[in-house]
Amino acid sequence: MLASTLVAAAQESPVNLIRYVPGTAQRSPEATHARPVRIDTSVLAAGSRRFRLELPDGPAFEVERDDLERRGEDNVTWRGRLRGEPASRVVLTMKNGYVSGAIRSRQGLYEIKPQAGGQHVFEKLNPECFPQCGGGVLPPDLFDRTNDPQQDTAPFAAATAADSANDIHLMSL
């Protein structure tokens, strides 16, 4: 009876993934908020189906897992969503006790970055610091048609001329 009560209680209140720690965090130039945190890596290592996540500038959410990629005991990528926000996305990768992650929600874009000594920084990113998307990528089969002399290649030439390919912007997780 006690065991079933404990299981039911655990299902009702998910464990906190992070714990905010006293102090200040070095904020990256792209961040509007930054807080130092400790991460309960056992939650990710166990492949938990859900946990609680408090954003650095506000509300807490229950996060639900969509996918888990396990490459080793302490090497996983956890993918999921904020409960109640179907368009949200949470991706957390853990290796050797360090976690790197990105959270996209209606509240904004967030990043978790590892620091020395097992600590991490949880930041809210300023979207104004990132350039707008330069457009879509043409599917590979369209490139194959440009070698066919019977095909009109003008649309492809215009698309490739507009993109100088001088700038490459990446978000590393």
> For 107-131, how does the pLDDT look when each residue is reduced to its tens digit (9 = 90+)?
999 999 999 888 899 999 998 888 8
Whether 74 maps to a domain, the answer reads yes
- Inside any domain, residue 134: no
Range name among 19-23, 109-113, 150-154 with the lowest pLDDT average: 150-154
Q: CA-CA distance, 30 to 123, in Å (whole number)?
A: 9
54 has a pLDDT exceeding 80: yes
Residue pair 163/135 in contact by the 8 Å Cβ criterion: yes
Number of separate domains in the chain: 1
pTM passes above 0.85: no
Q: In this prediction, what percent of the chain has a pLDDT beyond 90? A: 52
Residue 30, phi-psi category: left (phi > 0), alpha (psi -120 to 50), beta (remainder): alpha
- Looking at the domain assignment, is residue 154 inside a domain? no
Residue at 151 is within a domain: no
In a domain, 9, yes or no: yes
Does residue 119 form part of some domain?
yes
For residue 70, pLDDT beyond 90: yes
pLDDT (0 to 100) of residue 136: 72
**Average pLDDT estimate for 77-106:** 95
Q: Would you say residue 62 lies in a domain?
A: yes
Q: Can you point out the beta strands (E) in 44-107?
A: 50-54, 60-72, 75-82, 89-95, 98-105
- Domain that residue 118 falls in: 2-127
Count of alpha carbons within 13 Å of 52, Cβ hemisphere only? 12
Q: In angstroms, rounded to a whole number, what is the distance separating the alpha carbons of residues 48 and 42?
A: 9
Q: Average of pLDDT values for 46-53? A: 95
Percent of the chain surpassing pLDDT 70: 72
Let me know how many helices (H) and strands (E) the chain has, helices first: 4, 9
Average pLDDT over residues 132-150: 61
145 alpha carbon, distance to own chain's centre: 36
Per-residue model confidence (pLDDT) at position 142: 47
Average pLDDT, the chain: 81
User: Which residue bears the tokens 């102090």?
Assistant: 23
Q: Which amino acid is at 29?
A: P
In a domain, 66, yes or no: yes
Higher pLDDT, 65 or 137: 65
Q: In the structure, what pLDDT confidence band is assigned to residue 82 with cuts at 50, 70 and 90?
A: very high
Amino acid 87: pLDDT: 93
pLDDT at 63 over 60: yes
Place of tokens 């492949």: 47
The mean pLDDT value for 145-157 works out to 52
